[in-house]
Structures are given as structure tokens and as C-alpha cells.
Amino acid sequence: MFNFNEINNKNPKKWNVKENQLPVNTLISDLKNPASLISVTKADISTALKENIKIIDTKKVEELKQASLVITGDNLNYNSEKMEYELDLEVIKNQGESKRYIWLKNPLLPVGKFFSNAEVKGIMALGKTVILDGSDKIQVDFEDEITENVIRLEKVGQIYITLDVGDVFENEEAAAKIFENEILFQKKLAQYVADNREFVRRYLDHNVPDLRPLPTKNTIIMWVDISTLGISGTEFKDFAMKETGVIVGAGNEYLENTDNFILLNLATSVDNIEEMLKRLQRAVVAYKKNDDLMKILGL
């Protein structure tokens, strides 16, 4: 039903590259959306309204953001032992003191952080209303129901749907019936990206142990720790591009204090994934040979 090997290579920000270059460096999916999902029809919107699914425009979304502390990767602490980002409630309390809402993108890109029930409830304990923004999600579910002091915000096509406190699960069922093709696409995409993630993880573990992927989920991005190479993500990006033509993302291009990371986009064709891995392996081998030579020469 969905062809995930058919990619969209018309994005000039990503695909304006030389013939031998392979870009895997952006937060934008390469995969083509089916024509049926490109826009939400007026009939869909009319049906949604009849089912009491509240639709809000982008202006209202921006007004909500202005009244919110919007959590980004810079508000989080990186736990190097667990290889994951963690929420610091004391920081949130101080930074959000004058704000009515705490805005959580779930998952939070580009770090792939998925906020747990415990973290959401911790914020609610501060007396704040939480806005859970699922507009960047692949397909995620909570472990149990949270209905108190939470506003759910979802994006379907070009519209936002807000699922308010008390109506969340009843309205989700109605929304699922109306937007079943969108939801099916999200689920299939989630499985496709998860398969790519596992394939990349196994390949790197076996063939390129200097590249250590973080155990992130629910995002098309894979963060890779390159600290054992002794260079920054920017330096590795430049070297890999010159040496093999693969263009990765450098962590500090997207988030502070991530000099030892590179980013890989997994929402692309299987052929691109396989070619990316071969080029990354060649780049690491070439860098280590060059580094060894420099040490021998005392440079």
C-alpha cells in the first residue's frame, strides 16, 4: 500500500548536492507521502467537527506557544551512562515560573526524547498545564491514561486537532475512524523506520564499533556517539564528506553541547541506508589510518 523505497529528492536544502554525494543529514523525511495524505479534505474536517473533535488554526497554536515554556533539547540533561536525555524538574520550575503552560513535543526532535508518564506527572505536580504536542510523532502511545491537566495537540495533514481534558480517549477513537489512512501510514512508517534503526544498529555494532548509536525511538533521526574517535561531529562530517561523499549531520548544528555526536536520517530508502553504512565504514577506516600515521610522524 505504501512504497517506502520511493523517495522525494526534490528538496533543494538537502538534495542540491554533487553527483557522488549522499545526504543523510536533515530532519526531513525523504519518503513520499501518499497522495491521499497530502491534504485533509473539507469533508474530513466537517466530520471531525460533528464528532466534537476540536480543530484550531495555526494562529491559535502560536498564541498557546507564547503562553508556554516550550521544552527543547537545551532544557534537558544528557546522561552519558544511560545514553539518554533527562528532564530536570527544578530547571523547568524556574524557567517556567511566569508561563501558564509547559509545551512538550512528544517525541522531541532532534534528540528523539519521549517524555514518560512519570515526567509528565512531575510537571503537572508543579501546578502547570501540560500541552503534549504530537505533531512530529511517528506513532507513539502512553503506558497509561493521563487525563488531568493535559491538552493533547495532534496534527493531521495541514490542521491541528486539540483533544481536551476529559474527552481525550473518546475523541481519539472518533478521530481514528476519520483519519484512518493517516494513522495507518504513521504506523507503517514507524515500523519501517524501526526496522532501519535496528539494521543500522547491528551493522555499526558489528562493523564500526567506534560509531555508537543512542537508543532513541519514535523519531526518524539516529544520534551516534563518535567520542572514541577523538574528533568533533563537525570534523567527522567534513572528513566523511571529502573522503566518501556521505553527508551526515553534526550534533552541534542542532543542539548545544553535542560536539561528540553525528545525526543520521533513517527515513530514506533501504538502498540509501545500505550505501550510507558502507561509506561511513570507509570514512572511519580512512580516518583511523590517517590518525595512526600522524601519530607515527609525531604530528
| pLDDT bucket at 82, cuts 50 / 70 / 90 | confident
Res. 202 pLDDT band, cuts 50 70 90: very high
Residue 141: the pLDDT is 38
Note the pLDDT of residue 164: 45
Mean pLDDT of 205-213: 95
What pTM does this model have?
0.69
Weakest-pLDDT range from 30-34, 61-65, 221-225: 30-34
Q: Kindly report, residue by residue over 140-175, the tens digit of the pLDDT.
A: 333 344 445 556 565 555 445 554 433 333 445 555
pLDDT for the residue numbered 290: 76
What is the per-residue DSSP string for 204-219? HHHH-TTSEE----SS
Q: What is the mean pLDDT of residues 4-12?
A: 68
Fold assignment, 12-34+192-296: Aspartate Aminotransferase, domain 1 (3.90.1150)
> Following DSSP, what letter does each residue of 22-86 receive, concatenated?
EE---SS--BPPPGGGSS--HHHHHHHHHTT-EEE-HHHHHHHHHTEEE--GGGEEEETTTTEEE
What local confidence, expressed as pLDDT, does residue 234 receive? 94
The three grid cell numbers given for residue 157, joined into one nine-digit string: 495533514
Q: Which has the minimum average pLDDT: 107-111, 196-200, 221-225?
A: 107-111
pLDDT for residue 143: 39
Q: What percent of the chain has pLDDT over 70?
A: 65
Here the cell at position 296 is 607515527
pLDDT, mean over the chain: 75
pLDDT band of residue 15 (cuts 50, 70, 90) is low
Nearest to 190 by CA among 1, 40, 4, 55: 4
Q: Could you tell me the strand order of the sheet in which 159-163 lies?
A: 54-56, 159-163, 150-156, 129-133, 101-105, 68-70
Domain parsing of the chain, residue ranges: 12-34+192-296, 41-178
Task: Work out the angle at residue 274's Cα, subtended by the Cα atoms of residues 212 and 32, and round it to the nearest 5 degrees.
Answer: 105
Whether 110 shows a pLDDT value over 60: the answer reads yes
Average pLDDT over residues 97-114: 79
CATH class of 41-178: alpha beta
Task: For cell 522531541, name the residue.
Answer: 108
Per-residue pLDDT at 131: 82
Helix (H, G, I), strand (E, B) or coil at 258: coil
pLDDT band at 133 (very low <50, low <70, confident <90, very high): confident
- Which residues make Cβ contacts (< 8 Å) with residue 195, sequence separation at least 6? none
How far is Cα 40 from Cα 162, in angstroms, rounded to an integer? Answer: 16
